[in-house]
């Protein structure tokens, strides 16, 4: 029930933003459309939480999520500059390769969000996730090291600690 | 006035990153590195341009709409990038035969070391 209500409210907010004004006809048509989508697809938007946590935990997670957005853009701009540096070299002098990086996350939402964040950062690209060995296969544009811990430090550690706290 | 300067700064830096992407797409050697160059344009450039436009119009609903479009860019970009790269590896469209480090072919149980056996 809670997931249906939250999905409905989120969809209605998106509808109002796209409509651009709050009038009675926008609200009627929007709630009809949101209700249809909610009835069919609400279990794809939000999952039921198994464990019960006190409410301020979710508030803290939401706050951390907001705090994570500027940090992500800072990291993304840094690595975009690193890729752009390769563009202007006379002979592109990098060493591309596909490396295997272990992760400690177990929650499936956190895993997929972390994979998307790795792909979103320029310079690294998730190819696959191995469930039995709990490791990502990452295409890295410039393989600097083959040491497992150092590799992990350079690619995923900057996001993994945030994601591990937020989606747990 | 300051708002316009910030908006133009964001838009022009986004356009600069887009230009870098085009040069990178032309200059990089193989499929996967070109995908990396293309990832720059959607994460940095599109978000900077949408943020600049949102600052430029500076009206609540219009800016919220434009920022929502930027968020949709951020959602759709990694899935498309990942799908293209993984499909081109799995369907053997473009295999990274010259890579020194390739852990993924061991995972798939393939061996590309002898290039003459592919005929």
Among chain A, residues having any CB pair with chain B shorter than 8 Å are 14, 17-18, 20-21, 73, 76-77, 80, 83-84, 86-88, 92, 94-100, 115-117, 119-123, 125-128, 130, 137, 139, 141, 143, 146
Q: Which two tokens stand for residue A121?
A: 């950062």
Q: Is the pLDDT of residue B96 over 70?
A: yes
Q: Is a pLDDT exceeding 70 seen at residue B115?
A: no
Please give the residue that has the higher pLDDT: either B15 or A90. B15
The distance from CA A142 to its chain's CA centroid, rounded to whole angstroms, is 23
Shortest distance, CA B82 to any CA of chain A (angstroms): 6
Closest C-alpha among B94, B89, B88, B77 to residue B40: B77
In this structure, the number of other CB atoms found within 10 A of the CB of residue B88 comes to: 16
Pull the structure tokens for residue B72. 């949709």
What is the pLDDT of chain A when averaged over all its residues?
A: 84
Count of structural domains within chain B: 1
Token pair belonging to B105: 């072919």
Q: How crowded is the C-beta side of A81, counted as CA atoms within 13 Å? A: 6
Greater confidence (A32 vs B92) lies with: A32
Mean pLDDT of B92-119: 67
Chain Cα centroid distance, residue A83:
21
pLDDT at position A134 over 70: yes
Q: What is the pTM of this model?
A: 0.83
The chain-wide mean pLDDT, for chain B, equals: 83
- Cβ distance of A76 and B81 shorter than 8 Å: no
d(CA A114, CA A105): 9
Residue B97, pLDDT score? 74
Distance CA B33, CA A162 (A): 28
Report the share of chain A in percent with pLDDT over 70: 96
Residue B119 has pLDDT above 60, yes or no: no
Question: Would you mind telling me the total number of residues written for chain A in this entry?
Answer: 168
pLDDT at B72 over 60: yes
What is the reported pLDDT for B102? Answer: 78
Residue A59 has pLDDT above 80, yes or no: yes
Q: Show the domain range for B41.
A: 2-118
ipTM reported for the complex, 2 dp: 0.80
Give the closest of B27, B78, B101 to A119, CB-based. Answer: B78
Is 80 exceeded by the pLDDT of residue A48? Answer: no
Nearest to A17 among B30, B32, B68 (CB): B68
Task: Please report which confidence band the pLDDT of residue B112 belongs to, taking 50, 70 and 90 as the band edges.
Answer: low
How sure is the predictor about B118, in pLDDT bands with cuts at 50, 70 and 90? very low
B50 burial type by CB count under 10 A (0-12 exposed, 13-18 middle, 19+ buried): buried
CA distance B17 to A153: 27
Beta carbons of A103 and A155 less than 8 angstroms apart: no
Q: Region A131-159: what's the mean pLDDT?
A: 82
Count CB pairs under 8 A between chains A and B. Answer: 116
Q: Please give the average per-residue pLDDT across B12-34, as a whole number.
A: 87
How many angstroms separate the CA atoms of A143 and B102, rounded? 11
Nearest CA-CA distance, residue B5 and chain A, Å:
20
């Amino acid at each position: 029930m809670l997931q249906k209500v939250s999905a409905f409210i989120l969809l209605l907010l998106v509808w109002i933003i796209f409509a651009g004004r709050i009038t009675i006809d926008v609200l009627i048509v929007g709630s009809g459309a949101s209700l249809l989508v909610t009835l069919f697809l609400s279990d794809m938007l939000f999952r039921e939480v198994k464990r019960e946590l006190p409410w301020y935990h979710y508030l803290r997670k939401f706050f951390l999520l907001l705090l994570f957005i500027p940090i992500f853009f800072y990291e993304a701009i840094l690595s975009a500059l690193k890729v752009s540096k390769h563009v202007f070299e006379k002979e592109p002098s990098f060493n591309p390769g596909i490396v295997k990086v272990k992760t400690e996350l177990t929650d499936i939402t956190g895993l997929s969000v972390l994979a998307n964040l790795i792909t979103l950062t320029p310079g690294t690209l998730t190819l696959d996730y191995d469930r039995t060995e709990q490791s990502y296969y990452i295409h890295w544009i410039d393989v600097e090291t083959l040491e497992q811990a150092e590799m992990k430090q350079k690619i995923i550690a900057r996001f993994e600690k945030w994601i591990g706290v937020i989606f747990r | 006035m300051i708002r316009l300067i910030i908006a133009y700064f964001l838009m022009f830096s986004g356009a600069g990153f887009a230009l870098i992407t085009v040069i990178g797409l032309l200059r990089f050697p193989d499929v996967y590195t070109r995908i990396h160059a293309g990832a720059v344009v959607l994460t940095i450039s599109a978000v900077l341009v949408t943020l600049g436009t949102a600052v430029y119009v500076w009206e609540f609903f219009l800016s919220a709409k434009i920022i929502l479009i930027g968020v949709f860019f951020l959602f759709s970009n990694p899935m498309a990038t990942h799908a293209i790269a993984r499909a081109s590896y799995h369907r053997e469209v473009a295999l990274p035969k010259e890579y020194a480090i390739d852990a993924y072919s061991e995972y798939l149980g393939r061996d590309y070391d002898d290039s003459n056996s592919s005929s």
